[in-house]
Amino acid sequence: MKGLQTALADLKLGKIIAYPSEGVWGLGCDPQNEEAVYKLLKLKKRPVSKGLILVGSNIEQMKQYININKYKEKLISKWPGPHTWIVPTEDTPVWIRGKYDSVALRVSSHPTIVEICDKFEAAIVSTSANIQGKKPLRTKQEVEKNFDQLSIVEGSLGSLKGSTPIQDVVTERWIRD
C-alpha cells in the first residue's frame, strides 16, 4: 500500500496523515499525542470543543476509551463498518471528546483504515479532510492541493457518498445520517 510505511512513521512522530475512508478523504493522527491532535485541529480550523472521531480496525482498540462490555452488543450490530457511534466515556482525553462526556468511535471495514490501524496497533483520530465548514475532499489530488506536507496513504474511497452516519449508542438518536 503506497505511502503506508511513511504514514506509520509520521503517526509515531506526532504528524498528521491523509487516507481514503468510507466516503471522503480523512485526516488522522495519534489520539494519545495531544500536540498532534491540536496540530490537526489548527490545520482544519476546528475548535477542540467539537470533539473528534476515533477509528480503529477492531473493537479491542476502543478499550482504553469506553466500557466496551456495557455497549458491545449494540456496537457490533453495526461494526465493523461505516457507522460511527457516540459512546459515553470517562477515559477519553478532552482533546478528543471536546466539550462532551462521550466519544465518537468507529471500527472500520475500509481496507486502508484497517491496514493503518492494524500496523499502528491502535485507533487513530479520523476527521474529514477539509477546513471546518467546507466540503469534505473526495480525491487525493484535492487533499494534495489543500494540505501540503502530509503523508498520504493511497487507496480508494468506499461506497458512501459522504461522511459516515453518526448515532448515539444510548438514545439511538441520529446525529448525522
**How high is the pLDDT of residue 149?**
87
**Structure confidence by residue, pLDDT tens digits, 28-44:** 999 999 999 999 999 99
pTM value surpassing 0.85? yes
**How high is the pLDDT of residue 177?**
86
Range of the domain at 151: 4-176
**Structure confidence by residue, pLDDT tens digits, 113-169:** 999 999 999 999 999 999 999 999 999 999 999 998 899 999 999 999 999 999 999
What would the grid cell of residue 53 be? Answer: 472521531
Angle, to 10 degrees, between the axis of helix 4-12 and the axis of helix 111-120?
50
Q: Is the dihedral of CA 31, 35, 36, 39 positive or negative?
A: positive
Residue among 118, 65, 67, 121 at smallest CA distance from 96:
65
Residue among 50, 30, 73, 45 at smallest CA distance from 130:
45
- Please tell me the total count of domains within the chain: 1
Domain at 169, CATH number:
3.90.870.10
